[in-house]
Amino acid sequence: MSEHTIKAFDHELEALSRRIVDMGAVVEKVFGDALDGLTACDVNLAGGIVASGPRLDALRREIEGSAIVIIAREQPVSVDLRECIAAIRIAGDLERVGRRSIDIANRAVVLTGESFSPRAFIGLKLMRQFAAKQLSGVLEAYTQRDVARARAIWLGDVELDALEDSFFRDMLTFMMEDARNVPFCTHLLFCSKNLERIGDHATNIAEMVVWMVTGESMPIERPKK
Closest CA to 190 of 206, 208, 171: 171
- For residue 190, CA distances in Å to 24, 92, 101 come to 23, 21, 11
Within residues 170-209, the interface with its own copies by CB under 8 A covers 171-172, 175-177, 179-180, 182-183, 186, 189-190, 193
The binder of its own copies chosen from 58, 112, 125, 129 (CB under 8 A): 58
Backbone angles phi, psi at 53, to 5 degrees: -50, -55
Give the integer Cα–Cα distance in Å for 51 and 36.
17
Per CB under 8 A, the segment of 23-31, 55-63, 135-143, 147-155 that binds its own copies is 55-63
The binder of its own copies chosen from 26, 79, 81, 126 (CB under 8 A): 81
For its own copies, the closer of residues 148 and 220 by Cβ is 220
Minimum CB separation from its own copies for residue 93, in Å? Answer: 10
Closest CA to 189 of 115, 127, 112, 99: 127
Minimum CB separation from its own copies for residue 144, in Å? Answer: 24
For its own copies, the closer of residues 26 and 81 by Cβ is 81
Give the integer Cα–Cα distance in Å for 84 and 90.
10
Rule CB under 8 A: is residue 88 a binding residue for its own copies?
Answer: yes
Helix/strand/coil for 113: coil
For its own copies, the closer of residues 47 and 53 by Cβ is 53
The binder of its own copies chosen from 1, 3, 44, 78 (CB under 8 A): 78
Instruction: Count interface residues toward its own copies (CB under 8 A).
Output: 33
Give the integer Cα–Cα distance in Å for 121 and 118.
6
